[in-house]
Amino acid sequence: MTTENTTSESNENVDPKQEEATVALANQILARVNVSEALSLISLSAVMQLVQNKVVEQARSEVEKMDDDQIEDLLNPPAETEDVEDDSEEASSEDS
């Protein structure tokens, strides 16, 4: 946890020393928390929303690195159904 994470949640009337102490105590608590305890504090839908946000953030970062051809291939993958059909016909004729 950082002060950046708490800034939006903090009350502007709080003493900076109190805010720093809050962050320090929160870090100590987080250091002792195991996964099951952490998950018991938050709903599954909230966890899923956090994961979805991170995945979209990662995907956005990856797409920014792609060139136009890579984006086009991602949106319109080349059809491979003909190769699969040909292979299955060859395999069945070999079995005969």
3-class SS of residue 9: coil
The structural domains of the chain, with segments of one domain joined by +, span 1-41, 43-96
DSSP letters of 38-58?
HHHTS-HHHHHHHHHHHHHHH
User: Is the model more confident about 43 or about 87?
Assistant: 43
The residue-averaged pLDDT of 57-64 equals 95
Summarize pLDDT for 18-44 with one digit per residue, the tens: 999 999 999 998 888 888 888 888 898
Structure tokens at 92: 């069945």
Q: Specify whether the CB–CB gap between 29 and 45 falls below 8 A.
A: no
The residue-averaged pLDDT of 60-77 equals 93
Q: Specify the pLDDT at position 30.
A: 86
Of 22, 25, 43, nearest in space to 33 by CA: 25
User: Is the model more confident about 48 or about 7?
Assistant: 48
Please give the single-letter amino acid code of residue 54. Answer: K
Q: Specify the pLDDT at position 56.
A: 96
**Does the pLDDT at position 89 exceed 90?**
no
